[in-house]
Amino acid sequence: MADASVSLIYASHILEHFGRFAYKAVLAEWFRVLRPGGVLRLAVPDFAACAAIYYEMGLADGLSGLVGLIVGGQRDECDFHKMIFDEALLSSSLLETGFREVRRWDWRETEHAGIDDYSQAYIPHLHKEDGRLMSLNLEAVKSGSDTRQ
């Protein structure tokens, strides 16, 4: 894909499938293809939310829910999580890559709100009104004056 050719990249529960020494290269590639002013919209499992649920209830739900958020569904060789993120780590990684204006986004306020993906992951499952959101949803903007490629 050409440099600075895309205005929006949306990646829901993908980045955690790259290892701790590889995910920054993925962010750099997304940065490269985004136009100045373009948006990288990410959703990843929220490790801080997972830790809070674990502290409160342990693994009460067995191998569903919480375990899957941390290690992946493991239904095939590609369905393993290799990295964990909290807001501070992901925000700092995005800023180090060259993004600016890192902020949370609400799935309800997006053009893709009608698509039920993991950006809407809750515990208890499907309790979107009274459950706890388990997805860390952050977006970052590529600087309009940034010339890094």
87-132 pLDDT per residue, tens: 999 999 999 999 999 999 999 999 999 999 999 999 988 899 999 9
Buried b (16+ CB within 10 A) or exposed e, 112-139: eeeeeebbbbbbeeeeeeeeebbbbbbb
How confident is the model at residue 62, as a pLDDT? 60
How confident is the model at residue 70, as a pLDDT? 95
Query: How many angstroms separate the Cα of 134 from the Cα of each of 38, 92, 126?
Result: 26, 20, 11
pLDDT for 11 beyond 60: yes
Average pLDDT for 51-74: 84
pLDDT band of residue 149 (cuts 50, 70, 90) is very low
Please give the model's pTM, rounded to 2 decimal places: 0.92
pLDDT band of residue 61 (cuts 50, 70, 90) is low
Per CATH, the number for 6-141 is: 3.40.50.150
Pairwise CA distance, residues 77 & 71, whole Å = 12
Q: Sketch the domain layout of the chain as residue ranges.
A: 6-141
